Amino acid sequence: MSLSTSLENHFADLPDPREPSKCQHKLLDMVIIAVCATIANADDWQGVVTFAQAKADWLGQWLDLPNGIPSHDTFERVFGKLDMAAFEARFIAWTQDVFQLTTGQVVAIDGKTVRGSGGKGARDKLHLVSAWATANGISLGQCKVDGKTNEITVIPELLELLAVKGCIVTLDAMGCQTAIARQIVDQEADYVLAVKGNQGNLHKHIASAFIRADDERLNRHMAPPDVAQTQERGHGRLETRWCRVLPDDTLADWAGAQSIVELTCERRIGERVARETRYFITSLPPNASLLLGCIRAHWAIENSFHWVLDVVFGEDANPTQHQGRAQSLAVFRRMALNLLKRHPSKKSLRQKRYHAALKEQFLLEVLRS
């Protein structure tokens, strides 16, 4: 019986960057060791090797390990030269095969800079665009943003790799592009796109439409926008959100566009009041409750995904200088996060990692859950 059939099936053909005659360690063994180590509290390459050396007998029950445990230098050298596009494509295929998406759920796409990458003071930090399934709480995939490009060019590449049929894709203002909207619709998904100054005419059109709707409603010329509201109290503050939605059939340049959205957020802390209004365009019908939920789900990527990577997996604190090695570690963190999320234990992610480091049986359960 294998340690993880799904990992073996999806990563067995990962291209090896080494000359065949100089390979003392199997690449698949190294991939599986890194996944196990990352689940079990390893946050860097030294931690991966420390885990593997401590668990060498246990790993030897499942893996070939023709020359024992690879050294720290071997891990860094191999994963620094790895074809990252091929690695990430296999990660995405593995995720889509093992973790089933819920139809109609929000897939939030957002960028994150790995602040520790490149070493202290480095300007060229690793920046990744990731897709996050908000209902399932899993990472669907990632693509690196090269220094010569930006998120606008990477988002279509990531979307092309994802199976988002029936989902609702949410993007911040950087992704508010007509070509991206068309691609999402062509992939049989819906979209909710934030609109800011980078789409000046569209931003003015939406703002004016809601002002006009208010004026005409006062004159009883049209029905009011559909409205939804939420209110939250905590830590001495009161946050209220009003979401208003209007149908709009004038947005011919935006594939599938049906509605425009105005979201007003008010935060009260004692006597201080701060208010902000944001606008969105969407292929969904004018349903304020649904759209407010989609927008809030997108915001959750910061707390449910980026924060977890930094606080639970120490991503920003990792000073890996070589971008290829940092990018490989980023993939392993996302694989470990997905597997830990899927395990039914009610423990926190931090406690699950600690448990997996101490108990081989629990680690095996996480790999096979």
Residue 123 is predicted with a pLDDT of 60
Question: Total structural domains in the chain?
Answer: 2
- Backbone phi, then psi, for 330, in 5-degree steps? -60, -40
Give the pLDDT band (50/70/90) at residue 220: low
Is there a single domain that holds both residue 235 and residue 329? no
Phi-psi region of 235 (alpha: psi -120 to 50; beta: other; left: phi over 0): left
Residue ending a domain, choose from 308, 334, 351: 308
CB 340 within 8 A of CB 349: yes
Is there a single domain that holds both residue 348 and residue 296? no
The verdict on residue 88 lying in a domain is no
Residue 116 is predicted with a pLDDT of 62
Is there a single domain that holds both residue 215 and residue 250? yes
Residue 324 is predicted with a pLDDT of 81
Is there a single domain that holds both residue 188 and residue 259? yes
Q: Strand order in 259-269's β-sheet?
A: 138-144, 126-133, 106-114, 168-171, 190-195, 272-282, 259-269, 237-247, 226-234
Q: Give the residue numbers spanning the domain of 208.
A: 95-308
Q: What percent of the chain has pLDDT over 90?
A: 73
Tokens of 220: 């009883």
The verdict on residue 248 lying in a domain is yes
Is there a single domain that holds both residue 9 and residue 63? yes
The verdict on residue 279 lying in a domain is yes
Residue 235 is predicted with a pLDDT of 78
Is there a single domain that holds both residue 19 and residue 115? no
Phi-psi region of 171 (alpha: psi -120 to 50; beta: other; left: phi over 0): beta
pLDDT, tens digit, 9 for 90 and up, residues 225-267 = 899 999 988 877 899 999 999 999 999 999 999 999 999 999 9
Give the pLDDT band (50/70/90) at residue 218: low
pLDDT higher than threshold 90 for residue 270: no
**Model-level pTM?**
0.90
Is there a single domain that holds both residue 125 and residue 17? no
The verdict on residue 87 lying in a domain is no
Is there a single domain that holds both residue 102 and residue 30? no
The verdict on residue 89 lying in a domain is no
Is there a single domain that holds both residue 101 and residue 76? no
Residue ending a domain, choose from 286, 308, 330: 308
Is there a single domain that holds both residue 330 and residue 354? yes
The verdict on residue 214 lying in a domain is yes
Is there a single domain that holds both residue 158 and residue 278? yes
242 - beta bridge partners? Answer: 229, 264
C-alpha to C-alpha distance for 277 and 263, rounded to whole angstroms: 6
Is there a single domain that holds both residue 171 and residue 264? yes
The verdict on residue 316 lying in a domain is no
CATH assignment at residue 190: 3.90.350.10
The verdict on residue 334 lying in a domain is yes
